[in-house]
Structures are given as C-alpha cells and as structure tokens.
Amino acid sequence: MKPHSSLNDFGGADTKPLTLRIKPVSFSGPPQFRRLIGKCFNLTADRSPVSPIEEKKRYLFLAQSNQGQMILEELTQNQKPLTLRIKPVSFSGPPQFRRLIGKCFNLTADSYRYDFCPFHNIAQHEQSLRWSPYSGVLGVWQQWQITNNTFEAMVMEEGDVCGNTSRSSVVFFTCGSKNMLYEVKEPHRCRYVARFQTPLVCHGDAMLVYPQLLPELQKQWDVVETRFMRQELTEQGYTKKLKQLFVAAGLQMSNATRVQLIEAEQKQEHTALFDNLNKCNMEHRKLKLEVTRVSQKLKDNGIDDELKEVRPLAGMGDPDYDDYYQHGFMNDE
C-alpha cells in the first residue's frame, strides 16, 4: 500500500507528487514481465464508513506522526475565520483582569481545540479528518455572573446558532500558578462550562464586587442590604435591586440592552450583505454558478446518477454572464 502523500488521501486537496526514499532496482524475473515496465494500474474503491471511535484513533495516530502533524496543520490553516454574531462588550470586572485583554488560551481535549479569549469570545474547532469539521463560536463576552458579592464567572452568550437557540458558555476561574484553560464541558446541549486557572484570583479579595463599585453605587448597595435585613424587601426584590446596581456599574446587561445590540448587529449584517438589488442579484448568480460547477464536477466523476436534473441557468450564453464566470467568480474568494 502506498503511503499517504497529501490531504487527498483523506478527502482533501490535490495529490502532491510522491517522493521515493530509495531507487528501485533493475528488472529481474520472468522475461514476459518486461511488458509491464513503464505501465501503471490503479483501483478506486469505496470507503467504508468510519465510526467515531475509529475516527478518533486515526486522528490520534496522525497527531503522533510527523506526516500526520503536517496534515493536521494544513487542515487548521484552511479553516475559515469565524464570524461573531454580536460584538463583545467593553471590559468590566476586577482591574487585574486587564492583563488578559488581547490574549487567547487554548485547550485540546476529546478531538476538539478550544480557544478562549477573555473579554472577547470562546470558540471550538473539531480536530478531525472528516469533510468540513465543525468550527464555531461558543459565546461572545457579555457580562459577569455574580454570586454573594463575588465575580464568579464570565458569561459568553450569542454564539453560533444551535437549533432554535444560540450557543453560550460560562467560564469559571480558579487559583493557579499560571494562566491556563484546563477544562471545557457541555453538560447540556449548546451550553458549555469552561474552567480557567490564573494567579489573578488567588488573593482572598481578588474577586469581590463591592470594592470595585463607585462610592455612589456602594451607598445604594448599603441601603439595599439594610432594607433586606429589615425585611422591607423580599428575596426577589433584593435580587432585582442588586441586578439594577450591577447593570448601572456595567458589570451586567439588561435584557432590553441585549435585544437592542442583537437587532443592531443583525441590521448591520443584512445591510452589509445586500445593501442594494444589484449586489443581491450578484450573490444569487454566484450561488447558481457554484451549483452548476459542483454538479458538473460530480457528473465528470461518474456519480451523476444520484443527482437530480439541473435546470439550465438563466443567462447562459450572455457575454456579461460568461465574462463574470471567467473573471469575476473564478477570482472570488
């Protein structure tokens, strides 16, 4: 069996020329076999489905070999850049956490690579040889989860769409000698829990909320605490008042503000994509061209029996259409 020379052996890019480690020896054997010199024969066979366990074993095998590392690096380089559905909010929280701004930390576990960028987003990349492995945003920085006067976790919301909801993550912090993302779990579908260790939380008062508030907000908190102790506020009323304080301090986000941000991002995205009819028509034409190109490639490879009949595209033969196909679409990234 020939060695795997490129991604083509795993369903990827075009095959690169093979390099022999040694030269073949001269001909020997039955004289009639001279007729085979200089000729090559090939076989294309159907692959059997790969189970998740076999896929994981194959990935781990490649990760431990030099050639496998090259293949996995090429797969990573070909990953499309991720797009955030909403912008991360401004920095807030313990002042020492400003040291984490602009930095990212990653963890590879269970055939996935996780990238955590504090105060920006958290993402997941499937480290797999399957066709089009998943890469997506698990959440964008939005607010703090606060419990008992403590910054308990970063809340990352409005990640990639997942069914009728969006992916979200909560990142908890523990004391450690260095900054490191050491665990990511998915206890519920599309809901992730990550754990990050850092020396920034090791001091006993490092994550207290009250000292980080402006004096005016501290006084308001004192009043709320007093009213609650006097039983002038119910548990629900107490929680609501604290929520209002945290929103005023910029530590948390009100539901109304979140809805406004999402709607603004969606409006801007739609405007950028189709701000006029000509651009909409052009994008539609590009999609039709892509369908035709892929369909023709499948037919050329003898698998057109499974394809549905493709109607001729409107505009075929039009000079402007052909010019766009040769110069515009082919150069489109």
Q: Where are the domains of the chain?
A: 49-78, 95-211, 277-329
Alpha-carbon distances, residue 52 vs 56, 61, 128 (angstroms): 6, 14, 10
- What 3-state DSSP class applies to 216? helix
Q: What is the pLDDT of residue 75?
A: 53
Element (DSSP H or E) covering residue 330: none
Q: What are the structure tokens assigned to 161, written together?
A: 């769409």
Residues 6+ apart with CB under 8 A from 37: 27
CA-to-CA dists, residue 264 to 32, 77, 270, 280, angstroms: 77, 32, 10, 21
Cα dihedral 53, 57, 59, 61 in deg (nearest 10): 180
- On whether the CB atoms of residues 273 and 237 are closer than 8 A, the answer is no
Rounded to whole angstroms, how far apart are CA atoms 29 and 323?
A: 58
CATH code for residues 95-211: 2.70.130.10
Q: Please, is 24 exposed, middle or buried when counting C-beta atoms within 10 Å of its C-beta (0-12, 13-18, 19+)? A: exposed
Question: In the beta sheet, which residues pair with residue 166?
Answer: 161
C-alpha dihedral, 250 to 188 to 208 to 205, nearest 10°: -140
Q: CB neighbours (10 Å) of residue 151?
A: 21
Task: Say if CB 274 and CB 283 are below 8 A apart.
Answer: yes
pLDDT tens by residue, the chain, 333 residues? 444 444 444 444 444 578 888 889 998 999 899 999 989 988 865 544 434 444 444 555 555 566 555 555 555 555 567 889 889 999 999 999 999 999 999 999 988 999 999 999 999 999 876 667 889 999 999 999 999 999 999 999 999 999 999 999 999 999 999 999 999 999 999 999 999 999 999 999 999 999 999 999 999 999 999 999 999 999 999 999 999 999 999 999 988 887 777 777 667 655 555 556 666 776 777 777 767 766 776 666 665 554 444 444 444 444 444 444 444 443 443
Give the predicted TM-score (pTM) of the model.
0.60
Cross-strand partners of 106: 115
Which residues contact residue 55 at a Cβ distance below 8 angstroms, ignoring those fewer than 6 apart?
111, 128, 129, 130
Phi first, then psi, for residue 198 (nearest 5°) are -160, 145
